[in-house]
Structure 1
Amino acid sequence: MRRLILTALVTVCALAVWAAVFLAGTLEGWWRRPLAPPGDAAAFMAAATRLADAEGPGALSLLLIERGRPMGEHHLSRGAPVDRDTLFQVASLSKWVTALGVMTLVEGGRIDLDAPVDTYLNRWRLPPGDFDNRGVTARRLLSHTAGLTDGLGYAGFAPGRPLQSLPESLTRAADASPGRDGVVRVGQPPGEAWRYSGGGYTLLQLLIEDVTGETFEAYMQRAVLQPLGMARSTFVTPPEGAPNLAGFYDEDGGLATHYRFTAAAAAALYTSAADMARLIQAHLPGPDGALPGRGVLSPATLEEMRRPHARQMGADIWGLGVVLYAPNGAGGHIVGHDGNNEPAINTAARFDPASGDGIVLLESGAPLLATRLAGEWVFWRTGKVDAFMVLMEARKTLTGLVAGAVLILVAGIVVGWRVRPRKAAA
């Protein structure tokens, strides 16, 4: 009996060690190989191009940045040609640019980052509930820690369907993604935990309009996009047939609907790979001594946006409007944002503030191609698996974990059977 108990204890310990080693190895990339030798940008570009071509999305624009300068690009399309200036609708990547607009109001003294957001609103208020709405601040909205529980996700409005007003959308978004009720409310204590909220960025869109007296689209054009040289970018929906606008595709390569959005701040920036490269460059020292921020924001504000403001499972994951993908080995993080929307829009922009290296991927027709290739870039640059890759591969990780655990259990059962007490022969 003692041997049987010992076998059981060893099996339990082996399961715990296996789980710890497997999960640590997954998070640290022990089982992964980079797409290219570290430091070989040309080899990475070639490998990323092969993967993009093999996936065959409807339209794609890829731009690789080294030390602040574009060094490689690749474009493909099933329809009209795509180049570095082609406009794509970029879904939640819009939030990064929106955050810059909010921070211009902070720097201009027009809002306090830590004041209740209701202080600045004229046309709509957060509905009363079980938690203190005064804890909802611009800082917490930008970092998804304001306690909003909408979980939005906007699916958009088909052509010919009228858009809601901002107050109507905040009260109940008619274009909420499936499974969401579309109501923006405080459903948990503000500041307590991270919880993704597209509705929080629609609230920031309203904030910008109520504070400035301008439309969100006009303010962002004047205060952010034009000064940064993002001349092609806009939050205004381009008309059908607009020149150099990427097609919208589904997963099967067929043409898909071009949806419109009330929640432009959360989901409806139109931008190009070249303009996103300019955005990344604006975070870096420029020629002739130009400071990061290019006069739109100060270097200190950009650093504050990259500072960790939200954690999950012990890891820093979010700043103010930017995702913290992985440590960069220089005391900071690889930062940027991704976007994903139906039927198959996927976008990603990530960069290392310490080196000036980055990647921009805009595509339609492959639901997670941009996020996957951007994650491969992070691993190639840092040797770290970024947060989104961990989520994308959660099912595969769970399968591997369970398979190893089953083998350990079977081995434990076999050993236990062999060492079990036997009755003495009569």
Structure 2
Amino acid sequence: MRTTLMHIGAAIGCCTLWGAAVFAGLDQGWGDSALAESGDAIEFARAAQSIAEDKNIGNVSFVLIEGGETASKFHLSNGDAVDAQSVFQVASLGKWLTAWGVMALFEEGQLDLDAPVSDYLSRWTLPASDFDASGVTVRRLLSHTAGLSDGLGYDGFDAAQDRQSLEASLTKAVDASPGNDGRTLLGSEPGSGFAYSGGGYTLLQLLIEEVSGKSFAEYMDDKVFVPLGMERTTFDHARALELGLAENFRPDGTAEPFRWYTALAATSLFTTSEDLGKFLMAQASDGANPVLSSSTMNLLNQPHASEMGAEIWGLGTMLYASNNAGGHIIGHDGSNEPAINTAARLDPARGDGIVVLSTGNPMLATELAGEWVFWKTGNVDSLTFASRLPTALAAFAGGVLIILTGAGLSLWLRKRRVSPRQKEG
């Protein structure tokens, strides 16, 4: 019996060590190598372009920023040519800029980040639930910690006339992505944890309209895009069409028709790689930011949500990895299947960043941005970690199976081995 218990204990210990090794390897990027030597921006851009040329299905627009200045860029297309001024629909990446619009109201004294959002709303209210809606604050909506359970995800509409009103979309979005019923609901205690919520940003869109008295698109133009010189950026669908849109492509290379959205703040920003470069450069520690003060920028980039012990979200800003200087690599990604994948990353302390806008490949932009994070910091990007987690879990499960099989076989063989004295007895 004692020997059996020792075998079981050894097996559990081996499984624990194997799990720790798998997780550490994933978290630390064991076996990974950077695309270029540290500091060699030109070589990194060349390596990134090589990957993009190999995997591109539709359009790619890439900008690399070093020290607050554009260091390199390239553009690829399997249709009409694109360049740094080509307008892409960038999906959830727009949440980052929406947060700036909210914080501009905060700086003007029109919002208290910790007041119930209901204090500012007259056109729609959260449905009754088992939880206290007064805990749904602007701060928590920005950081996806308000307790909303929608998980949205919007697929958009075929035509402008098909769109719902903002209030109807909050009640039940008929364009909810698969797996979501479309209702913006309070499903857990506000502040109790992180839960990604597109509905929360649609609620912030309504907040901006109610407090400012302007349409969301008009307000964002006036308060964010015009001051930053982002001349080809808008949440207005009609204006985006006038500017001319880069084609959307599906993974099979066919064209994906343009989609119309009610939930603009959550998923329907139109912009260019050049304009997003301006947005990043305004956030460099020594950059000129005509929209938000340095204290507000620090607040945006402070951790407000975590998962698995890792700080992952500020106020509208994703925290991808440590920048090894006491802060984080920040940014946002966007993905509307099957056509759109976009990514932007920034190290505010150094003014280094990357913008990748793509259509056709569902992970190309996120992949290249993750490579940039590893090249810059030696740390694994949080989305890279998440994308590799299923493979790591499979490796862990396989290792556990081998360990347990070995332990079981050892016990079985031991029982089969009987000493001569035991036989005689």
Please state which band the TM-score falls in when normalised by the shorter chain: over 0.9
* Between 316-325 and 174-183, the greater mean CA deviation after superposition: 174-183
The within-5 A match list for 1:27-46 is 27-46=27-46
Residue correspondence of structure 1 range 259-274 to structure 2 within 5 A: 259-274=259-274
SS in 2 for 1:362: strand
Task: Name the residue aligned to 2:16.
Answer: 16
1:22-421 paired onto structure 2 within 5 Å: 22-159=22-159, 161-238=161-238, 242-286=242-286, 291=288, 294-420=289-415
Q: Which has the higher helix share?
A: 2
Measure how far apart 1:243 and its partner are. 4.8
Structure 1: distance between partners of 2:380 and 2:304: 20
| Structure 2 segments unaligned to the other structure (5+ residues) | none
Higher mean C-alpha deviation, range 133-142 or range 40-49: 40-49
Q: Figure out how many residues of one structure are paired with residues of the other and give that number.
A: 421
| Cα offset, 1:359, TM superposition | 0.6
Q: Deviations over 1:226-278 (max 9, x none)?
A: 00111110001146964542101111010012111111011111000000110
SS across alignment from 1:76: strand
CA contact (8 A) 2:234 2:240 kept: no
Compute the displacement of 1:284 (Å): 1.6
Please give the root-mean-square deviation of Cα atoms over the aligned residues, in Å.
1.6
Q: CA deviation at 1:418?
A: 4.1
CA contact (8 A) 1:3 1:419 kept: no
d(CA) in 2 for partners of 1:126, 1:197: 14
Tell me the secondary structure at the aligned position of residue 338 of structure 1. strand
Distance in 1 separating the partners of 2:120 and 2:221: 21
CA distance in 2, matches of 1:240, 1:300: 33
Q: Secondary structure at the match of 1:93?
A: helix
Taking the aligned partners of 2:410 and 2:82, their CA distance within structure 1 comes to 62
8 Å Cα contact 2:284-2:350 kept in structure 1:
no
CA–CA separation in structure 1 for the residues paired with 2:195 and 2:342? 21
2:423 alignment partner AA: A
Deviation of 1:79 after TM superposition, in Å, equals 1.3
Distance 2:204 2:40 in 1: 41
Supply the distance in 2 between the matched residues of 1:167 and 1:407 (Cα, whole angstroms). Answer: 55
Structure 1 segments unaligned to the other structure (5+ residues): none
SS state at 2:255 partner? coil
TM-score, structure 1 as length reference: 0.95
Amino acid at match of 1:369: L
- Is the contact made by 2:95 and 2:201 (CA closer than 8 Å) also made in structure 1? yes
Query: What SS does structure 1 have at the residue aligned with 2:392?
Result: helix
TM-score (norm 2): 0.96
Q: Quick one: structure 1 residues 7 and 285, their matched pair in 2 at CA, closer, same or farther if it must change by over 3 Å?
A: closer
- Shift in Å at residue 386 of structure 1? 1.5
Residue 177 and residue 421 in structure 1: after superposition, are their counterparts in 2 closer, same or farther (change >3 A)?
Answer: same
Residues 188, 321 of structure 1: alpha-carbon distance in 2 compared, 3 angstrom cutoff: same
1:285 to partner: Cα distance: 4.4
Secondary structure, aligned partner of 1:425: helix
Deviates more, 1:304-313 or 1:19-28: 19-28
Against the structure 1 CA distance between its residues 4 and 420, is the aligned structure 2 distance closer, same or farther, given a 3 Å change threshold?
A: farther
One-letter code aligned to 2:360: G
**Paired residue secondary structure (2:423):** coil
Alpha-carbon contact 1:335-1:350 (below 8 Å) kept: yes
